[in-house]
Amino acid sequence: MVEPCRSWQEVGGAVDPSPTSELAEAAADLHGEPDVESTVQSVLEYAQAITGGDGVAVMIRQAGRPAVMSATSPEAAEADLVQIQCAEGPGLQAMCVRDAVLVDDVAADARWLSWSRPVSELGFQSVLSLGLGTHRTSLGALSVYSSRARAFPTDRAELARLYARHASVALVSARHESGLRRAIHARHIIGQAQGVLMERYGLDAERAFAMLRNSARHQGVTLTQRAEQILASRPADVS
């Protein structure tokens, strides 16, 4: 009997590791996206183009737990959601081992029985899941679904594995840049709110910040949220 689910190390086969123009173009475009959402969308589209899959989904760790972030079709999103609901499947394994997991025939899969039947009913017969992350951290997993069994030959699977590395770097960079933009925006909003309080109450910057901080604590909101409230309703007094 053919083993229905294999990690990439078990697939074997010699493949030319040099980047193709297809992979190089994808990598360049991924790094050119302006934010996390746009990067994820491009990750999905290029993964589908490179592998020839029928549906692709991205599962991301949020607060330590996996969640479906985006997908190219409702069926692909549902297939990933099944993994989370069943707490088993190739995407979750790929996320843990930070490598690729190949399912040649979903219907014949004997490892994840709770997962295989509903995914087969969605019309998928093979899956290639790719771990997303760095050597230090796991971001999530990219799963490519196909309506055909054994849809991912060795050369395509290896290309997808290399692509996942580029996608991981692009996602890490996008998250970092997004975090920096949020931090800059927050500092700008807080500075504006400080200015309002300084003008309104004749305070210096230090005392205005203390008033803002105490007001945020009193209302049970973040500093940025309280600053936004002050700017949105300037005539209102500070409680």
Give the pLDDT confidence of 213-236 residue by residue, as tens digits: 888 888 888 888 898 899 987 764
Confidence of residue 6 (pLDDT cuts 50, 70, 90): very low
Q: What is the C-alpha end-to-end distance of the chain, expressed in Å?
A: 72
pLDDT attached to residue 173: 80
pLDDT attached to residue 21: 66
Contacts of 37 (CB under 8 A, 6+ apart): 70
Give the Cα separation of 27 and 44 in Å (integer): 13
Kindly state the percentage of the chain with pLDDT values over 70.
Answer: 82
Confidence of residue 102 (pLDDT cuts 50, 70, 90): very high
- 132 compared with 185, residue with greater pLDDT: 132
Give the Cα separation of 56 and 47 in Å (integer): 7
Stretch among 2-6, 125-129, 158-162, 210-214 having the lowest mean pLDDT: 2-6
Confidence of residue 3 (pLDDT cuts 50, 70, 90): very low
Question: Which strands make up the sheet holding 100-103, listed edge to edge?
Answer: 5-7, 100-103, 126-133, 138-146, 55-62, 65-71
Asked if residue 92 has pLDDT above 50, the reply is yes
Give the Cα separation of 215 and 211 in Å (integer): 6
Asked if residue 9 has pLDDT above 60, the reply is no
What number is the average pLDDT over the span 107-127?
92
Q: How remote is the C-alpha of 33 from its chain's centroid? A: 14
pLDDT attached to residue 97: 85
Instruction: List beta partners, residue 48.
Output: none
Confidence of residue 133 (pLDDT cuts 50, 70, 90): confident
Asked if residue 161 has pLDDT above 80, the reply is yes
What are the tens digits of pLDDT across the range 37-83?
888 888 998 899 889 999 999 998 877 789 998 999 999 999 999 99
pLDDT attached to residue 123: 95
Query: Taking a C-beta distance cutoff of 8 angstroms, is the pair 113, 107 a contact?
Result: no
pLDDT attached to residue 24: 64
Asked if residue 195 has pLDDT above 80, the reply is yes
pLDDT attached to residue 42: 87
Q: For the chain, which residues make up each domain, given as ranges? A: 5-9+19-177, 179-232
Query: Which three-class secondary structure string do you get for 122-152?
Result: CCCCEEEEEEEECCCCEEEEEEEEECCCCCC
Asked if residue 8 has pLDDT above 60, the reply is no
Give the Cα separation of 80 and 217 in Å (integer): 39
Confidence of residue 27 (pLDDT cuts 50, 70, 90): low
Architecture of domain 179-232: Orthogonal Bundle (1.10)
Which residue's entry shows tokens 């899959």?
53
For 5-9+19-177, the fitting CATH number among 3.40.50.300, 3.30.420.10, 3.30.450.40, 3.40.50.720 is 3.30.450.40
